[in-house]
Chains A and B, each alone.
Chain A
Amino acid sequence: MVVVNPFSQESRHYLNIDINKIDKSLIRLAIARSNENNNEKYIDLDDDKDIISLFLLLQSLSKTPYAPEVLVALNAFENLMKERITTYFSQEVIDEMKTLINIYDIDEHADRARPLKAIDFPSLGIIVPREDLFRLKDKKRGEVNYMVLWSDVYDVTNITKQYIIGSYMFVTKWELIDLYSKTLKKRCKEYMKKTSIKMEEISHPVYEQISSMVRSLIKVRTTIEHAPGNLSEGLFPPCVKIALGGVSSGQRNYAITILLTSFLSYARLMPSTKIFDRDSSFTLSQNDVELLINDVIPTIIEAGNRCEPPLFKEHSLEKLNIFYHLGFGMTNHPNVTDYGKSKWYLPPSCSKISENAPQLCQPDEFCKEVTWGIVDWEKVDGILKKVAEKDKTALGEDVLKILFKSPKTLKELSETLGSDEKELSFVLGTLTKNKLVRKRKITNPIIYYIRKKRASNQKS
Chain B
Amino acid sequence: MDFSPASPKERMIYYSEEWNPKDVPEFIIRSIKEKEFAFDHEGNGYTDRYNAFGNIHGLETKVKTLNPYAVCASTAYYEHPEQRAGWRGAELVFDIDAKDQPVRSCSCAIGSICEKCLEEAKGLALIIIDTLREDFGVKEVYLAYSGRGYHIHVLDKNAEPLENRQYMLDYVMGSIMPMDFQMVIGYAKTWRKMFALTLSKMKQEDFLFLNKNVANSAIANKELIIKNLNARMKNFISTPGIGKTSQDKILNEVMRLSGLTVDGKVTIDTKRILRLPTTLHSKISMICTLAKHPESFDPFNEAVPRFVLERAESNAPK
Contacts and interface: CB of A to CB of B under 8 A. Distances in A.
Given A151-B159, A158-B167, A167-B135, 16 more contacts: A129-B185, A131-B184, A135-B183, A136-B183, A150-B136, A150-B158, A151-B158, A159-B167, A159-B187, A160-B167, A160-B170, A160-B171, A163-B183, A164-B136, A166-B134, A167-B137
Contacts of A159: 167-168, 171, 187
Nearest 10 pairs of A and B residues by beta carbon: A167-B137, A151-B158, A129-B184, A160-B176, A163-B186, A166-B137, A132-B183, A164-B135, A159-B167, A132-B184
A128 B183 CA distance: 11
Given A151-B159, A154-B167, A164 B180 contact: no
Nearest to A164: B135
Interface in A142-177: 149-151, 154-155, 158-168
A339 to B, nearest CB: 25
Interface string B150-185: 000000001100101001101100001011101111
Given A160-B167, A163-B183, A165-B185, A154 B162 contact: yes
The A interface, classified by DSSP as helix, strand, loop or mixed, is helix
The B interface, classified by DSSP as helix, strand, loop or mixed, is loop
A433 to B, nearest CB: 9
Size category of the binding interface on chain B: 20 to 34
Interface string A392-432: 00000000000000000000000000000000000001000
A135 B182 CA distance: 9
A168 B186 CA distance: 10
A41 interface: no
A342 B5 CA distance: 48
A159 B159 CA distance: 13
Contact of B135 (A149, A151, A165): A165
A139 B136 contact: no
13 contacts: A131-B183, A132-B185, A135-B182, A154-B168, A159-B167, A160-B170, A161-B179, A163-B187, A164-B186, A165-B134, A165-B186, A166-B135, A167-B136
Contact of A162 (B134, B170, B187): B187
B178 A160 contact: yes
A166 B168 CA distance: 15
Contacts of B170: 160
Most buried by A among B158, B162, B179, B182: B179
B89 to A, nearest CB: 12
Contacts of B159: 151
Nearest to B135: A164
Contact of B185 (A128, A151, A155, A161): A128
Contacts of B136: 150, 164, 167
A132 B167 contact: no
Contact of B187 (A135, A154, A160, A429): A160
B187 A164 contact: yes
B158 A167 contact: yes
Interface in B244-291: 245
Nearest to A163: B186
Interface in B170-214: 170-171, 176, 178-180, 182-187
B197 to A, nearest CB: 17
Contacts of B184: 129, 131-132
A47 B136 CA distance: 37
Contacts of B182: 135
Most buried by A among B162, B164, B167, B182: B167
A167 B131 CA distance: 11
Contacts of A158: 167
A162 B136 CA distance: 12
Nearest to B186: A163
B179 A139 contact: yes
A186 B190 CA distance: 29
Interface in B110-155: 134-137
Interface in A165-206: 165-168
A168 B187 CA distance: 12
Most buried by A among B164, B170, B178, B185: B185
A224 B135 CA distance: 41
Contacts of A129: 184-185
A166 B170 CA distance: 18
A26 B142 CA distance: 54
A122 to B, nearest CB: 15
Contacts of A136: 180, 183
Contacts of B178: 160-161
A158 B178 CA distance: 11
